[in-house]
Amino acid sequence: MFDIAKRTALGAVILMLMPAAVWISGWLWVPGENPSVLRPLYWVTETVSEPWGILTTVILCGWFLWCLRFRLKPAIGLGVIIAASLLVGQYAKDFIKGEVREPRPYVAWLGTDHQMNVGEFYAQKSKLRGKQVKEILGDDVQIPHWLNKSWQNDTGYAFPSGHTMFAATWALLGIGLLWRRKHYKTVTVLMVWAVVVMGSRLMLGMHWPRDLLASVGISWILVTLACWLTERYVGPLTPPPAEKQEISERD
């Protein structure tokens, strides 16, 4: 357990470096960034959003199972544990959002620059909130049409970040489950992807740096527990002798 916690904790610290640096620097989101920069970040954030997040989950689940070489029964057990860690994270996110009720950066900006009452905005149902965003922005040229639509569809509270929790959970699962089998390229890709997802949430006006930090912390707790359950009830995380030979040949 300690070895798993230590390994995943290191990954969590690495993921926290970017939002921590942004928070310390005092950087604040403002509208009007270059669309050529924002659009690729939007595509990255869509890999976590519905419905594409479901496809991302299926692909990553399949890849993890292939990397771990578990037989059918253990593979099903691992799939259940991964799904549970993702779902618990999202339910925890929804509960905390409802308790903290922190406005998103773009909503705070609408309140300041467009004299929108933020309290009344969040008192409405999500469909009415989206309609209000559309009406306020109208043909505002500094907000790209696709970002305007994204805001209309994502009018919930900010703290914590569900997108960050999803991406960080997968990245930390990579460290917890695949590191001992030396799938370093997979772990690196997952970590980079998670950091870019987190950066996209900042740049698109969806989250504050503290939202990302809290989400990584929650993901670390869930992943550490998931990896411990996997090792205890599903199968060893260290490769068996036959796979060690394959790993040495791969290296």
Q: What is the largest CA-CA distance in the chain?
A: 66
Q: What pTM was computed for the model? A: 0.89
Total count of residues recorded for the chain: 251
Asked whether 205 and 36 are in contact (CB, 8 A), the reply is no
**Rounded to the nearest 10 degrees, what angle do helices 52-68 and 72-100 cross at?**
140
Distance CA(189)–CA(176), nearest Å, equals 15
Cβ neighbour number for residue 34 with a 10 Å cutoff:
7
What is the four-CA torsion angle of 83, 85, 91, 94, rounded to 10 degrees?
Answer: -120
Distance CA(236)–CA(244), nearest Å, equals 13
Predicted confidence at residue 112, as pLDDT, reads 84
Per-residue pLDDT of the chain (251 residues; tens, 9 = 90+): 677 888 899 999 999 999 999 999 999 888 877 888 889 999 999 999 888 989 999 999 989 888 887 777 778 888 888 889 999 998 999 999 989 999 999 999 988 888 888 888 899 898 899 888 888 887 666 788 888 888 988 888 999 999 999 999 999 999 988 888 888 899 999 999 999 999 999 999 999 999 999 999 999 999 999 988 888 877 766 666 555 555 555 55
**Residue that is written with structure tokens 């569900």 in the block:** 162
**Which positions are annotated as active-site residues?**
163, 207
> What are residue 141's phi and psi, to 5 degrees?
-70, -20
Q: In degrees, to the nearest 5, what angle opens at C-alpha 83 toward C-alphas 40 and 208?
A: 40
Asked whether 107 and 120 are in contact (CB, 8 A), the reply is no
**Residue that is written with structure tokens 């950087």 in the block:** 27
> CATH classification of 1-102+157-239, choosing from 1.10.260.40, 3.40.630.10, 1.20.144.10, 2.30.29.30?
1.20.144.10
> Where along the chain do its domains lie?
1-102+157-239
Q: At residue 4, what is the residue type?
A: I
Q: What is the pLDDT of residues 45-103, one digit of tens each?
A: 999 988 898 999 999 998 988 888 777 777 888 888 888 999 999 899 999 998 999 99
